[in-house]
Amino acid sequence: MERTLVILKPGCLQRGLVGEVISRFEKRGLKLVAMKMVQLTDEILDVHYAHLKEKPFFPWLRDGMKAAPVILCCWEGYSAVQVVRDMAGATRASKAVPGTIRGDFSMSAQENIVHTSDSLENATIELDRFFVESDYCDYISPLDSYKYAPDEM
């Protein structure tokens, strides 16, 4: 099973959308295996968004991600990286398709509710950035056989 990182951004928390967004991942059938609330810092954001450091909007992005705490979640499931990415929708939320998280709850290219890992390789790197091994909870999901075929588990 794949694991992927979701960050519920400060705007998600402040707008009271945390439950709604988490509920979508739960209902889809993803398994929550780690979660914590933290205040992000410049140091970690410089690494997390290193691919955007030269962009003119980078200072705004960093300030937005520090404006309130975030909620870090690790979701597990079959093809979880792409499933979660598709559920988030387009980065530029004004173009995101209705039915996606961004398409339903956001208008902005910056204030777009969630971060989601964009590949399995980056998911592993990002999860290691925010979680240590003891943050992960190992528990049985008794309904897995109702969610998956044997070769998907």
Decide: is 112 part of the binding site for ligand UDP (CB under 6 A): yes
Pairing mode, strands 31-38 and 114-116: unpaired
Question: How many residues touch Mg ion (CB under 5 A)?
Answer: 1
Exactly one of 23, 91, 94, 119 binds ligand UDP (CB under 6 A); that residue is 91
Contacts with ligand UDP by CB under 6 A: the residue count is: 9
Let me know if 109 is exposed, middle or buried by CB neighbors in 10 A (0-12, 13-18, 19+). Answer: middle
Q: Cβ of residue 26: shortest distance to ligand UDP, in angstroms?
A: 21
Stretch touching ligand UDP by CB under 6 A, among 24-32, 111-119, 126-134, 138-146: 111-119
In order, the DSSP letters of 25-42 are HHHHT-EEEEEEEE---H
The residue behind tokens 């399995």 is 120
Segment interacting with ligand UDP (CB under 6 A) among 12-20, 36-44, 105-113, 139-147: 105-113
Report the partner that residue 136 touches, choosing among Mg ion, ligand UDP, none (CB closer than 5 to 8 A by kind). Answer: none
Catalytic-labelled residue, pool 3, 45, 115, 130: 115
Active site residue 51: no
Q: Which two structure tokens, joined as six digits, stand for 4? A: 């992927």
Q: How far is the CB of 52 from Mg ion (least distance, A)?
A: 8
Q: Which of 23, 42, 47, 57 binds ligand UDP (CB under 6 A)?
A: 57
Specify whether the backbone of 89 is left (phi greater than 0), alpha (psi in -120 to 50) or beta. left
**Do 18 and 72 touch, CB atoms closer than 8 A?**
no
Backbone φ and ψ for 40, nearest 5 degrees, come out as -75, 155
CB of 118 to Mg ion, least distance (A): 5
**Residues identified as active-site:** 115
